[in-house]
């Protein structure tokens, strides 16, 4: 069959050959040839699988998820320190009555991050590494433009600014 001709028919033929067994004076040579062919086919299929898996976007990492929460916590603190409560923040997204309610990471996630995520990636329930980066960039660009507040993405030590996180 040869590894360059891997298709459904050739794999089925190889499977039938293995099932039927080998007999006669050349049985050992035939079995050895079949095993070598199976090994080649399995190797080619494994390579093809790895190539296909490499094309699938990676799910976000646990560190990236943790960094998102650290970013939202730092942004909530910065917005609150800047006198920008949740209502002022959300006014840019929708009209609401004025109420002095401080920001926190959960409210920022539900009322700010998620709507941006849903508008950018409506079919994605769990953003992958590229998507989570794009959501952050969009959100950070918006807070810089609208409120003059930007928060860098937390580093591997969980710090985004000189004060660190609680």
pLDDT tens digit sequence for 1-12 = 445 567 778 777
Distances (CA, A) of 103 to 71, 89, 112: 13, 9, 11
Locate the domains of the chain by residue range.
Answer: 3-55, 62-147
End-to-end CA distance of the chain: 63
Burial class for 80, CB neighbours closer than 10 Å (0-12, 13-18, 19+) = middle
> Up-side HSE of residue 40: CA atoms within 13 Å toward CB?
15
Per residue in 5-44, pLDDT (tens digit) is: 677 787 777 777 777 777 777 777 777 777 778 777 777 8
């Amino acid at each position: 069959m040869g590894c360059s001709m891997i298709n459904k028919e050739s794999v089925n033929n190889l499977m039938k050959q293995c099932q039927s067994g080998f007999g006669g004076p050349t049985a050992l040579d035939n079995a050895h040839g079949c095993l070598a062919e199976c090994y080649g086919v399995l190797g080619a299929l494994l390579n093809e699988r790895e190539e296909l898996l490499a094309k699938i976007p990676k799910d976000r990492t646990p560190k990236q998820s943790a960094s998102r929460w650290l970013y939202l916590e730092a942004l909530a603190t910065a917005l609150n320190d800047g006198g920008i409560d949740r209502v002022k923040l959300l006014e840019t997204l929708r009209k609401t009555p004025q109420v002095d309610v401080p920001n926190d990471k959960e409210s920022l996630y539900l009322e700010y991050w998620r709507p941006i995520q849903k508008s950018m990636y409506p079919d994605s329930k769990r953003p992958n590494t590229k998507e989570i980066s794009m959501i952050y960039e969009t959100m950070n660009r918006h807070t810089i433009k609208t409120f003059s507040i930007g928060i860098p993405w937390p580093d591997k030590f969980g710090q985004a600014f000189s004060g660190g996180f609680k």
